[in-house]
Amino acid sequence: MVYIRQDKLPKLKEYKYSAVDHSLLSRYVLKPFYTHVVINCFPMWMAPNLITLSGFGFVVLNFLTMLWYSPTLDQDCPRWVYASWAIGLFLYQTFDAVDGSQARRTRQSGPLGELFDHGVDAVNTTLEVLLFSATMNFGQGWKTVLTLFASLLTFYVQTWDEYHTHTLTLGIISGPVEGIVTLCIVYALTAYLGGGSFWQQSLFQSLGLKQYNFIPTTLFNLAWNEWYMVYGSVVLVFNTISSARNVMQARHARGQKSRGALLGLLTFAAAWVLIPAYLYLQPIILHHHLVPFIFYAGLVNAYSVGRMIISHLTKSRFPRGNVLIYPLIYGVFDSLGPWLQEHIGLGWPSALGSDVYQVAFVFMCLGLSVGVHGSFIVDVIWTICDYLDIWCLTIKYPYQPGRDKEEKKAE
């Protein structure tokens, strides 16, 4: 499958990075740290994409330790594991932020960098959902699924916003800045407190507060991890509304209707009608094999986001639909028959059942998503590198400070 048509390739040379960052933490703390300290640690020969990939390696190591110590997402890990997650995520954020500075310093800025950066971020989002769920001892259940939904929606809407406004907008509170810093703090606190079981305690009781008459019992008994989900929900709603407002204002300024842009959210909505439906109909997957399914759901979103970025870079029409949800449609249909038979007396038998074949189906979906998304990544990187005459992880034409002046004199 061709993901970038030949007639769209010239648009890559028109690419110009545009971003607005309203974060005070980023402006006054992180960016000075990146600009004056971190960037000097990387040599001029190191490609920006290699920095991005190296930072992602820390998260992969974090994920591997999670699989070893808490594969079911509900077991306390040794203190050093949580500490390593905090350090790994902070290094990932640092490397991910510095790659842009390295690109400008080495004169390697271009569309491939944005695609590579967003592509890695899309996969990291899913991995961090699993790490955070393991930290909170959510286990394999609906709390982990809700965390995945919030994280993927944030990333999808942010990319959708950038496609229509042509500018990456980070609000006062955003996932790439405050969200990651918050996770680093949570991981570090978990290491200090001795394990994820602490977050299952009531916040009010652990702080020694009394239950006054005006405090409902349900609210008083809310655990730390449930309060974090409330906080995440508020931030999610705020960021989603902000992005929708940005898109509508940008389209109105260009004399376009906002209705067409809002339809772009249906791709995400369709996937998230099917995902909870399938997990509800197959509790064996929800409670015993959720980790591979979350990988599959995360790659579904990463594939949609990747195609959006390509459409943004080549100024193509917004990508509709997602081929990776087709297996999920079959899974829901196959599982719905027995449920209907049990509840209304009419239905159809399941071809997969609710045991080993259902688990095999999930791993098949995961394998298919890895193959499709992997082929997408390889194809677009190969196409962009070939057209722009660059390399992905190394610098093909190193920047020479005096070269520009010599060329101007020769002209």
The model's pLDDT over 169-190, given as tens digits with 9 standing for 90+, comes to: 877 777 788 889 999 999 999 9
| Band of residue 134 on the pLDDT scale cut at 50, 70, 90 | very high
Exposure on the CB side of residue 211, measured as CA atoms within 13 A: 11
pLDDT of residue 401: 67
Architecture of domain 6-408: Up-down Bundle (1.20)
Name the amino acid, one letter, at 222: L
CA distance 207 to 210: 9
Does residue 287 carry a pLDDT above 90? yes
- Closest CA relative to residue 309, chosen from 170, 161, 128: 161
CB atoms inside a 10 Å sphere around CB 36:
9
Contact indicator for 170, 20 with CB cutoff of 8 Å: yes
Provide the CA 197 distance to its chain's centre, in angstroms. Answer: 26
Residues 6+ positions from 320 with CB-CB distance below 8 Å = 264, 267
SS3 169: strand
Domain boundaries, the chain: 6-408
Average pLDDT of 362-387?
95
Range name among 68-77, 101-110, 290-299, 376-385 with the lowest pLDDT average = 101-110
CA distance 378 to 367: 16
Residues marked as catalytic: 118
- What is the per-residue pLDDT across 297-313, written as a single tens digit (0 to 9) for each? 999 999 999 999 999 99
- Closest CA relative to residue 163, chosen from 239, 235, 261: 261
